[in-house]
Structure 1
Amino acid sequence: MTSTDPLARFHAVIPAGGVGTRLWPLSRADAPKFLHDLTGSGTTLIRSTYERLTPLAPDRVMVVTGLKHADAVTRQIPELNGPDLVLEPEPKDSAAAIGLAAAILAQRDPSIIMGSFAADQVIAPVPDFQDAVREAVSTAAAGKIVTIGIKPTHPSTGFGYIRQGQRYEVEGAPHAHHVAEFVEKPEQEVADQYVASGGYLWNAGMFVAPVGLLLEHLAQTEPELHAGLTKIAAAWSTEAQDLTLARVWPTLPKIAIDYAVAEPAAAAGDVAVIPGDFTWDDVGDFAAIARLNPASHQEGMTVIGEKARVYSEDSTGIVVADTNRVVALIGVEDIVVVDTGDALLVTNTSHAQNVKQAVQALKEKGDNDVL
């Protein structure tokens, strides 16, 4: 690559993993949340992610997803080039997924700058997001691993935080800062302090980095994982690809990219952050879906589903219907009803995060047919 514009070296990667258990029974192992339209926009989450990124990286978008999702992803992103659809035989957490993408891209061209953006996030306005990515790419070109942090709208205990350090002077990135540290999900009192200080951002899991630098840190902290990914990448797009992937992938350790790369790199002074001044939602539960669908409110009730038949009187909350069964709600507040062909969920918005526990209990009982 001879262009002096860092954006010409930019490749976008969309890790599309995770079941989204807090959105059960809508989100399942065979149809996770990124394959659904959860915003009423008419577009699935992964398709929206692709459309945000492709103007920044035309014909340079890679998706890493599970083998069982190959057909669905291909239908939703028919523009995807064959070598850019990376299929995991089994889930191995984010360090393996993102690390494999980095290793494959490094084989193609070691000067590539890659950006990793989850498939299941809702972001607006898109131009503001794209401006932040451009700043992140310019910062990465100066030799940093870069994260895009989200300016908090409230003191959430559900997200990790990034503590901003000093300004980082780099051409093309007027808002860049050094990262002082990554902080785990805090207690409420601590979250209050973080937001009040103005020096902390939500960690949205967005990373932009030169592939060589990312792999260098991965080799230092997780040498076994790095070695395995290097073997797979060396065989990519050759006759040995499938055999090597099947042989090596099951042996890889499971670890999140935050622990394997971001946190150690930040401690070494190799991480910068671009504050993202746009709205961001990871659609973590049904309360989030209600927030994201204000246009569908019917007298306080959010109703989602083409087949939905809902009667509501003196009630508030959300109904997600995948059947044509009538759902009648009378005198209930903040209720969550999710009606599918083989499972019915009833809870309220304050307990929406606890759906994950129900999924775990069903798994322990062996009721895998509904998971």
Structure 2
Amino acid sequence: MMLGASHDSSVRDLVSVVPAGGVGSRLWPLSRPDRPKFLIDLLGTGTTLIQDTIARLTPLSEAVYVVTGERHADAVAAQLPDLPAERIVAEPSPRDSMAAIALAAALIEERMGERIMGSFAADHVIPEPQAFRDTVRTAVEAARTGRVVTIGIEPTAPSTAFGYIRAGAPLADAPGSFAVEAFTEKPDAETAERFIAEGGSSWNAGMFVVSTSVLLGHLARLQPTLEAGVREIAAAWDGPSRAEVLARVWPTLTRIAIDHAIAEPVAAEGGVAMVPGPFAWHDVGDFASLAELLTPGEDGAIRIGRDAAVSLVDSAGALIVGGSKRVAVVGIPDAVVVETDEAILVTRREVAQRVKDVSFQV
């Protein structure tokens, strides 16, 4: 796959970082630890989620970095042949999002000096890339004021699958952005319904835009051991001592999400802004959300990676993924049937979130 060739619309000094971690356990057995969802062509378009993400970001960015686990670095490189090898940052073990993003920020500063950094997950579906890029441009200008900026997604329904961002007053020095009053973890159903009814809350999609110096400055104040650690690793990254320093320092870094380490405490101090994202956004967190993105055939079946026969009897909305044997679904509306070389899953879209609880996921 070719990365976007045109940089005519790129934003001065924006470096995009793509954390590519997580297994996608709710999409098992399609997604597995050795084949995470960002490396899969989930929508049957001929490109994987990480390829789509990089293509979306490249026209906007001075440079793009991917932070991923060592076990996936080769696969990422194979899928992104136009991405320079030095921009694939392999972490030896998962330390949650803060360590990954902070290492990228420190490495960018080490190599390029201070930049505006945007962090965008590798496994989201955004079918309107131009609207996304316009929103990021607004976020970049807000980040130039010294704030941490997040992009909020307008909720389409009450959901317990996402965190929420509570927006306050518009910011006079950052047109198009709003003060953030609070972040809320994934709520229960009653709270989610209340947020929607009251208005003023957006889904937290985990998109952050911030100056590298501002991010690392907050980290030095709030998580000093982590900040010092990533600085030490970044200083050694392009030299002969990388392996030694990484092996010694990386396991000592605090395992914490960027929401808890930076976004929540800095928002409480008035240092976080939110830019509304007026574009369609999909987390593709389970088979129910995946099915919603696809069009059923004339027989009512939704197919992914499958040419073999399907017969539905009173089972409209069934999602059938993979496999070469004939599949018949009788009397189970919204069924999900997934076949891979390793396993077969049978469930219903209504309970698709519970796939993560399968005991023998490997």
The answer to whether the 8 A contact 2:44-2:305 is kept is no
* Distance in 2 of aligned mates of 1:89 and 1:307: 39
Please state whether the residue corresponding to 1:29 is helix, strand or coil. Answer: coil
* Distance in 2 of aligned mates of 1:24 and 1:80: 29
* Distance in 2 of aligned mates of 1:6 and 1:17: 26
* Distance in 1 of aligned mates of 2:94 and 2:317: 34
Amino acid corresponding to residue 157 of structure 1 in structure 2: T
The equivalent of 2:209 in structure 1 is 208
The answer to whether the 8 A contact 2:167-2:200 is kept is yes
* Distance in 1 of aligned mates of 2:326 and 2:244: 50
Q: Which moved more, 1:45-54 or 1:334-343?
A: 334-343
Q: Which moved more, 1:153-162 or 1:185-194?
A: 185-194
Superposition map of 1:1-371 within 5 A: 7-58=11-62, 60-170=63-173, 174-294=175-295, 296-358=296-358, 361-362=359-360, 371=362
Please state whether the residue corresponding to 1:8 is helix, strand or coil. Answer: coil
The answer to whether the 8 A contact 1:40-1:293 is kept is no
Deviations 1:220-247 (A, max 9, x none): 2222211211110111111112221122
Amino acid corresponding to residue 254 of structure 1 in structure 2: R
Question: In structure 2, do the counterparts of structure 1 residues 259 and 341 end up closer, same or farther at CA, with 3 Å as the change threshold?
Answer: same
Shift of 1:210: 0.3
* Distance in 2 of aligned mates of 1:279 and 1:39: 15
* Distance in 1 of aligned mates of 2:169 and 2:243: 46
Please state whether the residue corresponding to 2:126 is helix, strand or coil. Answer: strand
Amino acid corresponding to residue 204 of structure 2 in structure 1: N
Shift of 1:81: 1.2
Shift of 1:109: 3.4
The equivalent of 2:5 in structure 1 is none
The answer to whether the 8 A contact 1:336-1:349 is kept is yes
Amino acid corresponding to residue 160 of structure 2 in structure 1: T
Please state whether the residue corresponding to 1:158 is helix, strand or coil. Answer: coil
Q: Which moved more, 1:194-203 or 1:299-308?
A: 299-308
The answer to whether the 8 A contact 1:167-1:178 is kept is yes
Deviations 1:76-115 (A, max 9, x none): 1111112210001111110111111011112123420000
The answer to whether the 8 A contact 1:176-1:273 is kept is yes
* Distance in 1 of aligned mates of 2:308 and 2:69: 30
For structure 1, the 5+ residue unaligned runs are: 363-369
Question: In structure 2, do the counterparts of structure 1 residues 180 and 110 end up closer, same or farther at CA, with 3 Å as the change threshold?
Answer: farther
Q: Which moved more, 1:214-223 or 1:156-165?
A: 214-223
Amino acid corresponding to residue 59 of structure 2 in structure 1: P
* Distance in 2 of aligned mates of 1:217 and 1:70: 29
Shift of 1:154: 0.8
Deviations 1:150-172 (A, max 9, x none): 011111111110010111123xx
Which aligned segments of 4 or more residues in structure 1 are displaced greater than 6 angstroms? none
Amino acid corresponding to residue 235 of structure 2 in structure 1: A
Shift of 1:279: 0.8
RMSD over aligned CA atoms reads: 1.6
Shift of 1:313: 2.8
Shift of 1:34: 0.4
Please state whether the residue corresponding to 1:148 is helix, strand or coil. Answer: strand
The answer to whether the 8 A contact 2:10-2:61 is kept is no
Shift of 1:298: 4.2
For structure 2, the 5+ residue unaligned runs are: 1-8
Please state whether the residue corresponding to 2:11 is helix, strand or coil. Answer: helix
How many aligned positions are there? 354
Amino acid corresponding to residue 234 of structure 1 in structure 2: A
State the TM-score, normalizing by the size of structure 1: 0.92
* Distance in 2 of aligned mates of 1:202 and 1:243: 40
The answer to whether the 8 A contact 2:102-2:230 is kept is yes
The answer to whether the 8 A contact 1:110-1:212 is kept is no
Shift of 1:174: 3.0
Shift of 1:307: 4.9
State the TM-score, normalizing by the size of structure 2: 0.94
* Distance in 2 of aligned mates of 1:55 and 1:81: 16
Shift of 1:320: 4.1
Amino acid corresponding to residue 212 of structure 1 in structure 2: S
